[in-house]
Structure 1
Amino acid sequence: MAHSNDRENILPTQSSLMLFEAVEEVDVIHWINDSDKLGHLSCSNSNNDPELNSASETPELYNGCTLLVLTSCGSWWSPGFNLESCEEGLARFGIQIPPDEYKLPIRASLMSPEVRRYMYFSSGGFMMLFAPVFYLSSWCCLFSTLHLYLSHYLKNFFWAFCFLVSAATVLLTTGLLLVLRGHNRKINLNTDVRLIWANENLTKHNILIGTLDTTKYCASVLHLCFIYFNLWECERRLASLLEARRHSETELQSFLRQRLGHLCVVVETSQVSPPNGEAAMSEEAPLLPGNGNGALDDGNQHHDVKTLMSLVPDGTPEEMAYQLLLTYSGLYVKLFVTNQLPWTKASIHTEQPHSPCLCQYIETSVLNLSSCKS
């Protein structure tokens, strides 16, 4: 869905993302253009693909087509994604996007040190280190605690006792890993939601991006995936579903708050307060805080104000549908590329027969407006 450039940004999270610092990035680009292997990351070189080397043919674009995948080492101290290669990669599909429309949002969203540390400590590679440490610590705690109270009864059953403690620890560790794996399939406010700004710019060119983490040689590898997806039909269908659900505006908002009330982001704003808490008269207060010479007045105090902003959509059904599509676009790309989307009998707006499109995913898995088999 291509929106006009003068369309006003609906989601306000852009103000908070602008505050993050960008870091230098160096990485390797992986090109994917195999329609038979959608949902699987390819490590092949683009130079070996005759279709890419053909300058006379432009690859066919369809919803769900993987355009390119940028990879980066999962360690938080490593450089980020090589965004300089995106322009050349997208040009092979005949897509021309101004670099500022995706470079600045991606750098502000994913390449700050705080976000890179979070992505490292929640990655699969770190979980591989965490699992044995958790197992050993749990085994020692269970053994020492039970042995303290049951030492008189375990003299003849010591090895059986050790086996039972080991079995209980294995079950506990496995349960923890399954919980973490299931949590990874839900929307992540620190990664998926932060891509709203970038996806808002890229949807004008029918592109969605998302991040995912894989493990290779016991090391975590981060991927930034670009897929082609035209949201026009999804937006129109989702708006009609919300319109049918809206018996009254208050009832619809109550329903959305119940389903999406947990989606909140912290927005930081800088404010200037006058000295001694005295408010200046509106006629005398300057438009910019300063003393008239370009320097800030020493009496003014600058402080950051953090406010909690809800991502529950508001407005007309079309505006709410647009906001929902942007909010869940990053998560959808991650689940789509890794084949973790819920199973459906027929897809409406994608080429994969049993993978739901974005509006189907929001309808079934987010709003629970209809049933969808997992």
Structure 2
Amino acid sequence: MPDGMPGDHCSPVSLQGCSVSALSSLLLKSRTEPLNGQVLMVLSMDNNCSATSFDMELCAEKLKSFGVQVAADQWRRLIQDAVLKPEVRRYMFYNSRAFQIAIAVVFYMSLWTNIYSTVQLCSFGRYWEASMLVTLAAVVVTVVVILVMDRCQRKINMNTDVRLAAVNEIFIKHSLILGITDALDGPHNILQLWFVHFSPERCLQSLSAHITDMQRTRESGLRHSLDQLCVVMEAVVQPDPGREEEASCEESPLLSSGVNLNKEPVTCNEMLHLVPEGPPEVMAQQLLVIFSGCYVRLLVTGQLPRATAGGHLEHSSVPCLCQFIEITALNTHQSWFVGR
């Protein structure tokens, strides 16, 4: 686990409301500047109960104690829209560790039953030999499925990580980035909102220089990589006023039925590029904001690879934010990372 991560000094998760990491109170007593990648605060909530939410009042007080002067109404609304909407919370529950464990158990039992039934039809060997063979095959396939799911969890999630981009765009100016994770506390699925200290100046300079170099030497590769960062938006089609009036006259019934039919608006899907073409500094800033949520999620869960070269995280063996973006989003194959 990287330096600055919470350990035994963090308070346990509270199911009665929201808990804030005890690390925040320790930082208040310290006069030294926190390190990049150091967790300042953790807000928790029970995702199984729809009535619970993050303690925004306590969060606002802690942010003021850190010297972060941001209008509370602004970031509260952004957090509400990002992770507290019912449909987002349902999505996070279905992608939580608890649900994945349940799916893995059901998948194993179903696979074992199907393989065993097939083996019995073939009258393969003795009962215990067939059982061991079926169990071994079911375990191997289930482990492969779990590893694939775990690998997918390490990628940027457009439905959660990118939704925090608007919040991170505000807080990154105050050397803070946010990420969200889920944890198990008995039968409860706990959502945790992490506030991590990160000064973006050096990463912004390094990433801007890297983008400038790619624009000069590998522009097509840069554009191809950035084209992968897109979301599908549903937009309402605005018809031409003249044609709409003509069509309404032609389609009007000869006899009035007395029924007012409300037509649903016509919609279409549009591809929205998260990082449009622009100056390297603007593109670098946009990349830092977009990947901040994913970076924090992997950082606090210890899923970042080890870095062999020095980055912008002091006293840590994990990559900094700009290194993470270059290797994951820009497909820069450099010898920064080593396998775990």
Q: Tell me whether the two structures share a fold, i.e. TM-score over 0.5.
A: yes
For the 8 Å contact 1:346–1:355, the answer to whether it is kept is: no
Q: Which amino acid aligns with 2:186?
A: Y
For the 8 Å contact 1:189–1:263, the answer to whether it is kept is: no
Shift of 1:81: 2.2
Shift of 1:246: 1.9
Residue number in structure 1 paired with 2:102: 129
Q: Does 1:238 align with 2:238?
A: no
Equivalent position SS for 2:212 = helix
Q: Does 1:306 align with 2:269?
A: yes
Equivalent position SS for 2:306 = coil
Shift of 1:80: 3.1
Pairs aligned (count): 317
CA deviations over 1:217-261 (Å, ceiling 9, x no partner): 25322111011111121111101011112226xx52x31343344
The two structures have a TM-score, normalised by structure 2, of: 0.82
Shift of 1:74: 3.2
Structure 1 residues 185 and 48: CA distance shift in structure 2, 3 A: closer
Structure 1 residues 115 and 211: CA distance shift in structure 2, 3 A: same
User: Which residue of 169, 174, 184 maps to 1:205?
Assistant: 174
Percent identity for Structure 1 against Structure 2: 35
Residue number in structure 1 paired with 2:234: 268
Cα distance between partner residues in 1 of 2:31 and 2:195 = 17
Between 1:350-359 and 1:258-267, the stretch displaced more is: 258-267
Shift of 1:202: 1.4
Cα distance between partner residues in 2 of 1:56 and 1:342 = 32
Shift of 1:138: 0.6
For the 8 Å contact 2:21–2:42, the answer to whether it is kept is: no
Residue number in structure 1 paired with 2:279: 316
Unaligned runs of 5+ in 2: 14-18, 247-259
Residue number in structure 1 paired with 2:142: 173
Provide the alpha-carbon RMSD of the alignment: 3.2
Residue number in structure 1 paired with 2:253: none
Residue number in structure 2 paired with 1:8: none
Cα distance between partner residues in 2 of 1:301 and 1:67 = 47
User: Which residue of 61, 73, 76 maps to 1:88?
Assistant: 61
Structure 1 residues 159 and 257: CA distance shift in structure 2, 3 A: farther
Structure 1 residues 147 and 51: CA distance shift in structure 2, 3 A: closer
Equivalent position SS for 2:307 = coil
CA deviations over 1:152-191 (Å, ceiling 9, x no partner): xx3x522201110111001111111111111111101110
Residue number in structure 2 paired with 1:367: 330
For the 8 Å contact 2:5–2:38, the answer to whether it is kept is: yes
Structure 1 residues 37 and 358: CA distance shift in structure 2, 3 A: closer
For the 8 Å contact 2:23–2:39, the answer to whether it is kept is: no
Alignment of 1:27-46 (within 5 A): 38=5, 40=7, 42-43=10-11
Equivalent position SS for 1:212 = strand
Shift of 1:48: 11
CA deviations over 1:295-328 (Å, ceiling 9, x no partner): xx99986444432213344211112111111111
For the 8 Å contact 1:270–1:303, the answer to whether it is kept is: yes
Structure 1 residues 174 and 54: CA distance shift in structure 2, 3 A: closer
For the 8 Å contact 2:304–2:319, the answer to whether it is kept is: yes
Between 1:225-234 and 1:269-278, the stretch displaced more is: 269-278
The two structures have a TM-score, normalised by structure 1, of: 0.75
Structure 1 residues 69 and 299: CA distance shift in structure 2, 3 A: closer
For the 8 Å contact 1:128–1:218, the answer to whether it is kept is: no
Residue number in structure 1 paired with 2:224: 258
Q: Which amino acid aligns with 1:204?
A: K
Residue number in structure 1 paired with 2:111: 138
